[in-house]
Chain A
Amino acid sequence: GEDVEQSLFLSVREGDSSVINCTYTDSSSTYLYWYKQEPGAGLQLLTYIFSNMDMKQDQRLTVLLNKKDKHLSLRIADTQTGDSAIYFCAERQTGANNLFFGTGTRLTVIP
């Protein structure tokens, strides 16, 4: 199967770290992605990780992959009000062209 699950909502205070979690079921996933969607806009690719990696850092963003538990997380350090958006996790399976998306997590940053 290709179920990708995320919690729907997360609230954090400005300046705190945010951790958005995602679980997937297909062990043949090769790439895992995080996208950000601001209100009224399309999806913006934030970062992605190959399945043979367990961590990737890019400025304030840290992606952690636990392949054994099929768990992916996105940590945003020093969260700002501009980080308020919906964050989607997605997976790409071996041999597939398309991505399978989670339901999205709406992050609200409280000033």
Chain B
Amino acid sequence: DVKVTQSSRYLVKRTGEKVFLECVQDMDHENMFWYRQDPGLGLRLIYFSYDVKMKEKGDIPEGYSVSREKKERFSLILESASTNQTSMYLCAIGTNSYEQYFGPGTRLTVT
């Protein structure tokens, strides 16, 4: 079974803080994704990475950056957190057979 781990289940940060959300996979998959989930909007893609040091913007990259220094680890960075970034953040990996598996999610609250 594919295992996707996210560093925190719940996080509370203050406006203006730098926030790191980390995602780790236990396999060797190239594709990794960061989504945010908001009620009534479903999941929206923030960024994805198709290999080490490779990244592409998704639909809503503004206010976020990412880092992929090692294949198993994909980090989402909020350079200066704002209240409209309060959300559930979900990491996923993509397999060669076109399946995506998700981590448990991080619920981030920015006050």
Query: Chain A: residues with CB nearer than 8 A to chain B?
Result: 4, 8, 30-31, 33, 35, 40-45, 48, 88, 90, 92, 97-99, 101-104
Q: How large is the interface on B (under 10, 10 to 19, 20 to 34, 35 or more residues)?
A: 20 to 34
B42-A104 in contact (CB<8A): yes
**B31 & A97 in contact (Cβ 8 Å cutoff):** yes
A103 touching B42, Cβ below 8 Å: yes
Contacts of A88 in B (CB 8 A): 42-43
- B residues contacting A by CB (< 8 A) are 4, 31, 33, 35, 40-45, 48, 50, 58, 90, 92, 94, 98-105
Partner of B98, one of A40, A43, A92, A103: A92
Decide if A8 touches B105 in the complex (CB within 8 Å).
Answer: no
Q: A42-B103, A43-B90 are in contact. List 12 more A-B contacts (CB 8 A).
A: A31-B98, A42-B90, A42-B102, A42-B104, A45-B99, A88-B43, A92-B98, A97-B33, A97-B48, A98-B45, A101-B35, A102-B42
